[in-house]
Structure 1
Amino acid sequence: MNCVILDDEPLAVELLSQYVAETENLSLSFATTDAFAAIQFIQKNEVDIIFLDVQMPELSGIQVLKIIGNNYKVIFTTAYTDYALDGYEYNITDYLLKPITQERFLKAVDKALATGIAAPLKSTGIDNDFIFIKSDSKMIKVNLNEILFIEGLKDYISIQTTKEKLITLQNLKALEQHLSGTQFMRVHKSYIVALNKIDTIEKNRIFIGSEVIPIGETYRDIFLKRIEGNKL
């Protein structure tokens, strides 16, 4: 997972950079004490995890979050517990209280990895695009062309494939963003469907094999317009 470190203390940046370098599955993409440089990098590059200081002179960690959005796993680094607690309003993954030990760092990373879904490969026109999900302490490869639909279950999602049903700790909105631009579409607050797996559409229901999936009023018009675009 690609990491960015933003902290106004050079020693903190150096320590976190060392921890990232010594951790399997992490790759340091950018480390800086400059909030504006970090924002510019994040907006132009693929980033998975951000280690973000809360109290900084130019912009606070909260202000940075407001600018970049919540499409990332964010781990706060701070000397102040009160500031860290504020971050949970922005769905942060964890917070590290300074001075940060490597053991505590690894626990935060494990939490980020446990709730992470790798983005699908960009479409190549070949039916082997895939994602990896964590389920039952394993990373499982899931081919996109085998997914029938995805159901949101509070903090978990259920992925129904042509072979099996997989449960993973994740939220539906995050996965929807990862699948943007593919053959998948949100049709209900609790469902994403694979358009190429739909058998029948009847009123406010979608039929995929023996499964019946509701179409939410909020999503109905956009969904039907996309379907109309594929009608002969």
Structure 2
Amino acid sequence: MAHQILLHYSHIHNDIKIVKQCYSATEALDFLTEQQVDLIFLDIQMPALTGLKMLETIANRPQVVLCTAYQEYALNGFELDVTDYLLKPFSIQRFAEAMDKVRRRINEIPLSQTATAPNYIIIRVDREDRKIALDNIQYFQAYGNYVKVWMDEDCLLTAATLKHFSKTLPENQFIQVHKSFLVNKKKITAQNSNSIKLNNNSTVKIGKSFRHNLMELWQ
């Protein structure tokens, strides 16, 4: 039934080509060793191996849209950087929204590689997308399965990874100074051997393996 619903919804979208239907994680993994795909629609509760465990075994994962009846696994899914999380039963409109996210990722170019990079980012907070000006951000802080986005006068919590932001933010403005901190260069006012100070008087630790990243700031 779940397969039939996905097939019905996908037929409306001309850019979707179904290349395989699998009924277990092992069957899917066997197929992926021979065939490269752009997108997987994946359930979580499956025979032998769960969908989340399956994702952990894939080295170069394609985009993934989780389709499940279990809301409690949403954070685990976003920690694995899935594109979207469809909670059964989902509507054809909700499916279309997920496909829009897939297309945005396909066409996404890291901000550091664009000639005219946008001066904002879009982050997901409390089930809504928010547009945040980059110049208003002090730093990003890894926080378990979330990331704290510290701004001049506020802090937002989003279900994401620091790795995601480090890959997409412009390199000429943001710098990683610790495994848990990604900082706006424009906000740095002082530095010692263990930490940096920002213009809102907050202090951020420097990781030993990231000290070389800061050398260029003071040259």
TM-score bracket, shorter-length normalisation: 0.5 to 0.7
**Counterpart of 1:171?**
161
| Change in 2 beyond 3 A, CA 1:122/1:18 | farther
Normalised to the residue count of structure 1, the TM-score between the two structures is 0.56
Preserved CA contact (<8 Å) 2:191 2:197: yes
Q: Among residues 80, 100, 122, which one is paired with 2:111 in the alignment?
A: 122
Identity %: 23
Cα distance between partner residues in 1 of 2:9 and 2:171? 35
Preserved CA contact (<8 Å) 1:120 1:129: no
**Counterpart of 1:33?**
20
For the residue of structure 2 that corresponds to 1:170, the secondary structure is coil
Preserved CA contact (<8 Å) 1:39 1:68: no
5+ residue gaps in structure 1? 1-10, 78-83
Matched, 1:152 2:142: yes
Per the TM alignment, residue 137 of structure 1 is displaced from its structure 2 partner at its CA by 3.6
Per the TM alignment, residue 163 of structure 1 is displaced from its structure 2 partner at its CA by 4.8
Mapping of residues 51-66 of structure 1, within 5 Å: 51-52=41-42, 66=57
| Change in 2 beyond 3 A, CA 1:63/1:228 | same
Q: Among residues 163, 166, 191, which one is paired with 1:201 in the alignment?
A: 191
Deviations 1:62-100 (A, max 9, x none): 6676344468545268xxxxxx9xx98x94869999xx7
Preserved CA contact (<8 Å) 2:177 2:211: no
**Counterpart of 1:211?**
202
**Counterpart of 2:27?**
none
Cα distance between partner residues in 1 of 2:202 and 2:66? 39
Preserved CA contact (<8 Å) 1:149 1:159: yes
Per the TM alignment, residue 181 of structure 1 is displaced from its structure 2 partner at its CA by 4.6
**Counterpart of 1:6?**
none
5+ residue gaps in structure 2? 22-30
**Counterpart of 2:213?**
226
Per the TM alignment, residue 121 of structure 1 is displaced from its structure 2 partner at its CA by 5.7
For the residue of structure 1 that corresponds to 2:9, the secondary structure is helix
Matched, 1:184 2:171: no
Deviations 1:8-46 (A, max 9, x none): xxx93x642433577xxx99655321844996343xxxx
Preserved CA contact (<8 Å) 2:174 2:185: yes
Per the TM alignment, residue 127 of structure 1 is displaced from its structure 2 partner at its CA by 6.0
Per the TM alignment, residue 150 of structure 1 is displaced from its structure 2 partner at its CA by 0.9
The residue type equivalent to 2:176 in the other structure is R
Preserved CA contact (<8 Å) 1:198 1:207: yes
